[in-house]
Amino acid sequence: MSDLLGRVFVVTGASSGVGRATARALARRGATVALVARTEAALRDTAREIASLSPDARAIVVPADLSTVPGAVRASKRLRDEVGEIDVLINNVGAVFPMRAVTADGLERTFALNHLGVFVLTRALLPGARRAARRPRSSA
């Protein structure tokens, strides 16, 4: 099934769990899936698995630490450079850190990852997503 062929989806937290399952399901339907997570090796495993699911699927690996503002900014720039406009952003990344920790930005780590990082990423990708929403779609 290739009903998502030509569509670009960004999935954060795509190296395991729900994010990985979501990316796989989208790829199976022919989507281009940009995989975003902190661990590049795990993302590469996911990309290899996706490549085996559908001849139409394309996976792009974007390692990024979304718990820092610079990490989110770098990820958004790389996504814009590699895929241009996106059709859908799935912000799946998240964690709870029971011990208080502070990021390099000086922010509490759970807040930085679950809220601030995805906010920065979303704001940076939103103009391209809006343009993509206005593109005509084939009904094939």
Q: Are strands 88-90 and 32-37 parallel, antiparallel or unpaired?
A: unpaired
8-state DSSP, 131: H
pLDDT tens, per residue, the chain with 140 residues:
578 888 999 999 999 999 999 999 999 999 999 999 999 999 999 999 999 987 777 999 999 999 999 999 999 999 999 999 999 999 999 999 999 999 999 999 999 999 999 999 999 999 888 888 888 776 54
Query: What is the model's pTM?
Result: 0.91
CATH class of 8-134: alpha beta
